Every structure is written in structure tokens, then in C-alpha cells.
Amino acid sequence: MNDIDIYGLHAERDPVNGEAGPKAVATPTVPVDTPKASVGAPVLDDSPTDERAADSVEATGEASTDVEADGTYDADRAATPKWRAWMRPWMEPWLRSFRAAFGVWLGAITAYLFVTFFAWRFVPTRVPPVHDLMGTWYKYDTVFYVRIAEDGYLWSKFAPAFYPLYPALIKGLNPIFPGGGLPAALFISVMFGLVALVMLHRLVDFEFGEKVASRTTFYIAAFPAGFFLFAAYNESLFLALVLISLYAARKGNFWVANIAAAFAGSTRLFGLLLAAPLVYEYMRQRGWSIRKIRWDALGFGLIPTGVVAFSIFLYRTTGDWLAFSHAQDGWKRKYDWPGAPMWKTLKLLNDKPYLQDWRLLQLVNLVVVAGAIILLLLALRRKSRLGFRPDQYYLLVYAAVPILLFISTETGWPNYLMSATRIALEWFPAFIVLGLMGRSRAFERFYLMLAIMAQGMFLAPMLVGLQFTA
């Protein structure tokens, strides 16, 4: 058994071989794919930009009148096929989300290509050939995912800590791509990065309007760890499945929601935690009445199937039902009181030189976790411009449960909040609050300037092997 360093150093690896609505406006409008207004819901300055003048196509799904306002005959509208008129109301929001997300996605990929080429200015004596630049992304967890796809879980005793869906997809696409599993891994992450951004925009657009959705999508991609949505990690796959699950639940399709949650559980253990917001939303939509529970509640039994199947596989492979848990010993993970890892990190900051790289990394992790908690607390203030409505609290339930578990789990010294900046991408409701704060142009410019600059400083040293990031 070839064990490697648990931080993934790869010197010997060859990478080549409901219910809410818009504010009133002067003209009649029909919101598309926007929940109804709740009693006492706060009025937002950013009314959803999918409000349009009343149109019978969007309002009823039927062909609109063929007479224009000036009395002229519109032959094109009269000739619109019924199937197209039926598809327009639900297609337009998705097309709008795709266009907004695609712009962010394409811009991010272009920026990462630029950084990949220019990061080597830090170490001009070790410049790799151009055809090998993709190998600079072959680091840390990426090594595990690719090696598991190529060699299986017996490759390392730490391998069971990495859940199987992402390596399985790599293995499935590996024959299509030349150069080993890394190109397939990057392709999967990049494509699911697009899916995650589209789903994030669609969910936030549905709840808060298009302007907030566009900002939220841009803000999460610009976040200092945003490049992990495009790196050969399982972050984009997991986030996409989470968003599909929550959006389906919000729409009342709990079979789809639970199936997506099961796949999320086979991507990361935290996928099991989706049970909390899904059950919350299910009961909320039924007025918290047990009598209104229907047969579709059986779908919640699907949520743990991903983890159970993985456990059975590991038993048949390694003889250990809980190998995925025992493998965490390599990172010295253990449970503690909520907030204890944050307190230990704060004390650690006094024991290191101020500009020491590990000290700076721990400081960033601490600020990110504390910042996410503060943002979610702001979302609880119902009368605030940043507050969520009660029918949107399923988003806060989703974020609160994994954050509570994360701040109750520590890794070994000196990285008590290991990977916090990367994992924060999964706490997307905090980015929604940032999107609401982005109404202020001054705040938006401050956040984007700081976040994009920090992301470059995180990514470039990682690519050239100078600094561990997450």
C-alpha cells in the first residue's frame, strides 16, 4: 500500500500520464417564477427584474392576443405554436439564469488560465513546459480523487475519507480524455461549476429577484476560495447537488430533492445534513400539520442511501464499515465544544510571527467562519433590509447545521479550522446576504476588489507549490 503525505504532496506523481414577491410598481406586472408575497414581508429596493408588463403568454401560458396596442395585427404572435407559448413561462427564467451564470463562469475560467500561466513568475527557475501546465492543478485533495479513480480505495489508508461519486465520475470519463485522470477531473469540476452557478442564480432569483441573484453568483465566484469550484475537487459537484435539492424542495418536488440529497451524501458526508432543511421545508409547506403528511414523505428515506452504499462498499473492500470515519484520523479530526476550534485558533495567532504563512492562513479561516456566522445572524432580522422571510428560513437551516458541526470539529495543530475558506463555499446563504448588501455600490466595490485580489494571492502560490491553501 502506497501511502502519501496526507496533505497531498505529489512530487512523484506524473500529471501528464411560497412565497414572496416583488414590490408594487405603477404598471400591472406578472412575476415569472417568483413566489407570492407573504404577510409582513419586507419590501426590497431591488425588485426582481423579471417583472414585466402583463402578458398573457407569461401570465397564463396561452398565446397572447394578436392585436397590438395601436390596433395593428401581429401575425408573428398569432402564428406562435402552442407548445412554444406553453414553454415560455418556465424556460425564460432558466435562460436568464444561464446567461447570468455563463458570463461569470467564462470570466472565471479565463482568469484561471491567466493565473496558471503567470503564476510561474514567482519561481522562474522551475518553469514547466506549456503542455504540462495542467499538472500544476494536481495538488492536495486532487491527488486522492484521481488516484482513487485510477487505483481504487486500497491505494491509501486515507483514501476512504474521500467519498465515491466524484472519483466514479472521473473513472467513467477517464477513457475519453488523454493524459490520465486529471483532465477528466478538471472537466467534471468545471462543468458542474457552471451547473452550480446556474442553480444558485435560479434559486436566489426565485427568492430575492434577479439583481440579488446576479450579485450573489458573482460574489461566490469572486470569493478568495472561489477557484475551488473549478479545481479538481468535489466542491462544485456537491454544491450543484445541494442547490438542486433545495430548489426542488422549494418547488414542492420532494422526490427530486431527496434523490439529489442522496447523491450529495455520496459526494460528501455533509450531504446527510440536507435532511434538516428538507424536512423543515416539507413541514412548513404543510402548515406544520402531521395530518397533511403524504406518501411522498417516504422519499426522505433516500437521503442516507449514498452513505450506506459507500459503507457497504468499504466493508467489502477493506473489511471496515466505518473506514470513511477512521480515515479521518490522518487529519487528527476530533469533536469538541461548539466554538472551541475558533478559540484555539485565536490563541494560536499570538504564538506565531505576524507574517508567518500559517498564521495568515488561520487568520483568514477564522475571519471567514466568524463572518459567515454574523451574516446568517443578520438574515434572521426580519425587519432588516438583509432579513430573510420566514418562508425562506429553510436556507438558514441548511447553512446553520453544517456550520455548527464544523465549529464543533477540529483538526490537528496548528490548523484547527482546516479548509474553512473552501468549505465556506457550501454556506451559500451567507453569500445571499452579501448579495443583499451589494445594493450599496460602495460595498460592492470594496468586496469585489478585496475578494478578487485575495483569490489571486491564494491561487498563485498554491499552483507553484509555495503554500498550502485548503
Write out pLDDT tens, residues 135-167: 889 988 999 999 999 999 998 889 999 999 999
Q: In terms of pLDDT, which residue wins out, 438 or 41?
A: 438
Stretch 159-177: mean pLDDT, rounded? Answer: 93
pLDDT at 33: 52
Q: Using the Cα atoms of residue 297, residue 260, residue 311 and residue 336 in order, give the sign of their dihedral.
A: negative
pLDDT at 23: 40
Residue 7 has pLDDT above 60, yes or no: no
Question: Which three cell numbers mark 38?
Answer: 407573504
Stretch 223-246: mean pLDDT, rounded? Answer: 96
Q: In terms of pLDDT, which residue wins out, 201 or 357?
A: 201
pLDDT at 147: 95
Distance CA 193, CA 221 (A): 9
In three-state secondary structure terms, 30 is strand
Nearest alpha-carbon partner for 47 in 67, 58, 65, 32: 32
Other Cβ atoms closer than 10 A to 155:
17
Give the contacts of 10 (CB within 8 A, at least 6 positions apart): 4, 138, 139, 143
In three-state secondary structure terms, 53 is strand
Q: Which DSSP state fits 67?
A: B
Helix (H) and strand (E) counts for the chain? 18, 4
The single-letter code of the amino acid at 45 is: D
Total residues found in the chain within this entry: 470
Stretch 194-214: mean pLDDT, rounded? Answer: 97
Query: Looking at the DSSP assignment, which residues form a beta bridge with residue 335?
Result: 409
- pLDDT exceeding 70 applies to what percent of the chain? 80
Contact assessment for residue 34 and residue 21, using Cβ atoms and an 8 Å cutoff: yes
Question: Which three cell numbers mark 131?
Answer: 503542455
Contact assessment for residue 427 and residue 86, using Cβ atoms and an 8 Å cutoff: no
pLDDT at 87: 65
Residue 249 has pLDDT above 80, yes or no: yes
Distance CA 399, CA 431 (A): 11
pLDDT at 120: 80
Q: What is the dihedral of CA 206, 211, 212, 218, to 10 degrees?
A: 110
pLDDT at 202: 97
pLDDT at 455: 94
Distance CA 32, CA 93 (A): 7
pLDDT at 290: 92
Q: In terms of pLDDT, which residue wins out, 406 or 88?
A: 406
The single-letter code of the amino acid at 282 is: Y
pLDDT at 9: 39
Give the contacts of 151 (CB within 8 A, at least 6 positions apart): none
Q: Looking at 9-13, 204-208, 374-378, which range is the least confident one?
A: 9-13
Distance CA 41, CA 31 (A): 16
Contact assessment for residue 15 and residue 168, using Cβ atoms and an 8 Å cutoff: no
Cis upstream peptide for 353 (omega within 30°): no
pLDDT at 382: 82
Predicted TM-score (pTM) of the model is 0.82
Residue 41 has pLDDT above 80, yes or no: no
Nearest alpha-carbon partner for 214 in 319, 222, 190: 222
Nearest alpha-carbon partner for 432 in 370, 364, 378, 369: 378
